Amino acid sequence: MKLWRYPANWHLFRYDDRLLLICMAVVVGICAGLAAIALNRALVSVLGLLHHYRHLWWAFIMPAAGAALSSLFLEKIVNEGAGHGVPEVIYSVSRYGGLIRLRSSFSRLISSCLTIGSGGSAGPEAPVVMSGSAIGSNIARLFNLNDRQRVTLVGCGTAGAIGAIFNAPIAGMVFTMEVILGEWSAVNIIPIAIAAVTGTKVSRLLQGNNIAFSHREFQIALGDIAACVGLAICCAAVSIILTRSLRGMSRRVAVLRLPLWLKAAMGGAIVGLIGIGLPDVLGEGYHTIQHAITGDFRAGLLVATTVLAMKIVATAFTLGWGGSGGIFAPSLFIGSFVGLAYQRALTHLWPTVGWVEEGCFALLGMAGIISGILQAPLTGIFLIVEITGGYDVIVPLTIVAAVSSTACQYVEPASFYLKDLVDKGQLLRPGTDARVLADIRMGELLETDCIPVSPGMRLGEFIPILERSHRNLFPVEDGKNGRFLGIVHLDDVRPYLFKTPLYDAVVLGQLMQTQVETVGPDDDLIDVLDKMDALKKFSLPVVANQRFVGMISKATLLDRYRRELMVQTRTT
C-alpha cells in the first residue's frame, strides 16, 4: 500500500480529519482557481483574436462554427453530454458522494471557451464550477477519501472556482453552501471558506485585484427603496420568462432528428444574426454590464428593452440548441438591463422625482435575477456586493433579492439548476427524508428469521413450528424447487388452532394467501414504502428470482431510519 495515497492514515490526521480537509482544501482551491483563470485568459484571447472579424458580413458564421465545434468536442472527443453541468454536480453530490469523472475537469472549459469565445451568449461560470468540483472530486479519489470528505472537496472546488472567476470569495462560499451542497455545517464551512479564499488569492496574484464592476457611490433615498419592490417583481417575471424559454427551447430541440453538432450550428447562426444588429448580446457581455452600471449605456428605453429581450432569445438559442456554457453571466446581463429599463421607465413616469442613477438599479436588477433564477437570495446579495466592491446598496439589495426569490418560488417551486433533479425525484439534500431513504439499502433491513413452510404441511405439523417462531408470518415455499408461493398469516390459522380434529385434515396450502404483493431486493426504499402505504401493510415479503429472501417491515425501518438520521445530522 502506498502510504502517500492514504493521508487519512497519517499520524497527523488520524484522529480528526478537519486538519486533513483544510490542507486538501488549499490544494483544491489552487487548482480550481487556476482552472478558472485558464478559462478566463483563453476567452480573452479568443475574443481578441476574433474581434477583427466582427464587422464583416459573414461574422454570423462564427457563433455557428464555435457552437458546432464545442458540440462535436463534447460528443465525439470526450464523449460527454451537453449541458452546463451544475445539475450533474448536484446529482453526484446527493447520490454518489460527489464522484465525478476526471474528464469533466477540463471538458466544459474547452467547449464553453469555443462557444462563448466565438460569440455564443452564455456564461463561463457553470463550466468553471463543473471543472472545479471535478478537480476536487478527483483529488479526493486520488487520496482515497470517503464520501463525506469527497463531498466537502467538491464544495471546495466549486467555491474556489467561483471565488477566482468573480474575485469574490464570500459569493463562492455562499453559492456552494446554498446551491451545490444544500447544507450548512461547521465541518464543511471551514475548508470551503479556505478554498474560496485560496482560489481568489490565486486569481489576484495572476490577474491583479480588480473589482469586476466598479462604480461611484450611490445616494439612495427612501423613495428608491420603495421602488425596489417593483423592480423585484419585474426581476421575478423576467427570471421566470428566462427559465421557461431555456427549458422550452431545449425540449423542442430535443425532438428534432438532426445531428447534435448541426443543431448547435443552427442555434449559433441565429445568435450570430441577432448579433449583427445588436452586438451587445454576443459573448458573456461583461463590457456591456460595466457600461450599464457606470451609466455609459446611452441608448433609450426602447433599445434597452430590445437588448434585454434579444439577450434572452440569444441565450435560449445558444444553450437550448446545444452550445456549452452557463446562465450566470447572461443572468447578470439581463438583470442589469432590467434595472436600467426600470429606472428609465420610472423617470418617464415621474420625471420630477430625483431617482438614484440607473447604475444602482442595474446592480439591484442583477441581484434580483440571480436570486430569482437560482432561488438563492444570499448568493445574489453577496455576489453583487463583492463584484461591485461596496456595501452601500445592501439595504435595497436585500429587499430585491428576497422579494424576487420568493416571488419566483410561487411560480416555479424549483430553481433552474434543480428543476430536472426535482422532477426525477433525484434531489437528495442532506438530512432530508428522501436522502435517508436513498441511503439505506434493502439488504440492511431484511428480516430473515421467518420459518418457511411447505403447502403440503398438515396443520398438526405446523403447530410446533408456530411454537418456535417469533413471527406471525410464514412464507410458503414449493418443496421441490423452493419457489415462493404465498404467505400463511397467524390470523389465517387462528380459527383452527384449537380444533384438534382438524390437525390432520387441513393443510397449509388451503390456508395460505396466494395473492401477495411482494417487493424485490433491489427496489428503492421509497417505492417500497409507497407500496406499503397504498396496501396499508406493515410488512411485505421480499422475493428475488421467485424465491423468498426475507421480510421488510415498517418497525425495523423506523428504527434504522432514526439511527441513520442521527448519524447523518449530528456529525460534529
Contact residues toward another protein (CB under 8 A) are 1, 6, 8-9, 14-15, 17, 79-81, 83, 87-88, 91-92, 95-97, 99-101, 103, 141, 144-149, 254, 424, 426, 439-441, 443-444, 461, 464-465, 521-522, 524, 544-545, 547, 549, 560, 563, 566-568, 570-572
| Minimum CB distance to another protein, residue 122 (Å) | 17
Nearer residue to another protein within complex by CB, 11 or 52: 11
CA-wise closest residue to 87 among 378, 412, 424: 424
Nearer residue to another protein within complex by CB, 151 or 485: 151
CA–CA gap between residue 314 and residue 260 (Å, rounded): 18
Nearer residue to another protein within complex by CB, 230 or 460: 460
CA–CA gap between residue 502 and residue 458 (Å, rounded): 9
Nearer residue to another protein within complex by CB, 138 or 243: 138
Cβ–Cβ < 8 Å for 487, 476: yes
CA–CA gap between residue 410 and residue 340 (Å, rounded): 25
CA–CA gap between residue 325 and residue 85 (Å, rounded): 9
| Minimum CB distance to another protein, residue 209 (Å) | 37
Cβ–Cβ < 8 Å for 327, 314: no
Strand partners, 453: 476
| Minimum CB distance to another protein, residue 98 (Å) | 10
Nearer residue to another protein within complex by CB, 117 or 191: 191
Cβ–Cβ < 8 Å for 405, 372: yes
Nearer residue to another protein within complex by CB, 83 or 268: 83
| Minimum CB distance to another protein, residue 443 (Å) | 5
CB-facing half-sphere around the CA of 448: CA atoms within 13 A: 7
DSSP code at position 486: E
| Minimum CB distance to another protein, residue 9 (Å) | 6
CA–CA gap between residue 138 and residue 132 (Å, rounded): 10
For residue 76, what are the contacts with CB-CB under 8 A and spacing of at least 6? Answer: none
| Minimum CB distance to another protein, residue 566 (Å) | 5
CA–CA gap between residue 407 and residue 445 (Å, rounded): 42
Nearer residue to another protein within complex by CB, 305 or 469: 469
Residue where the block lists cell 441513520: 564
In order, the DSSP letters of 220-241 are: --HHHHHHHHHHHHHHHHHHHH
Nearer residue to another protein within complex by CB, 130 or 387: 130
For residue 195, what are the contacts with CB-CB under 8 A and spacing of at least 6? Answer: 25, 26, 28, 29, 32, 136, 155, 156, 157, 159, 160, 163, 172
Quick one: cell of 405? 426569490
Nearer residue to another protein within complex by CB, 62 or 436: 436
Nearer residue to another protein within complex by CB, 76 or 287: 76
| Minimum CB distance to another protein, residue 236 (Å) | 28
Nearer residue to another protein within complex by CB, 205 or 258: 258
DSSP code at position 120: -
Q: What is the residue type of 486?
A: G
| Minimum CB distance to another protein, residue 254 (Å) | 8
| Minimum CB distance to another protein, residue 497 (Å) | 17
Quick one: cell of 488? 400463511
For residue 335, what are the contacts with CB-CB under 8 A and spacing of at least 6? Answer: 235, 238, 362, 365, 366, 367, 368, 369, 370
Q: Is 447 helix (H, G, I), strand (E, B) or coil?
A: strand
| Minimum CB distance to another protein, residue 506 (Å) | 17
Nearer residue to another protein within complex by CB, 146 or 219: 146
CB-facing half-sphere around the CA of 88: CA atoms within 13 A: 22
| Minimum CB distance to another protein, residue 447 (Å) | 10
| Minimum CB distance to another protein, residue 568 (Å) | 7
Q: Is 485 helix (H, G, I), strand (E, B) or coil?
A: strand
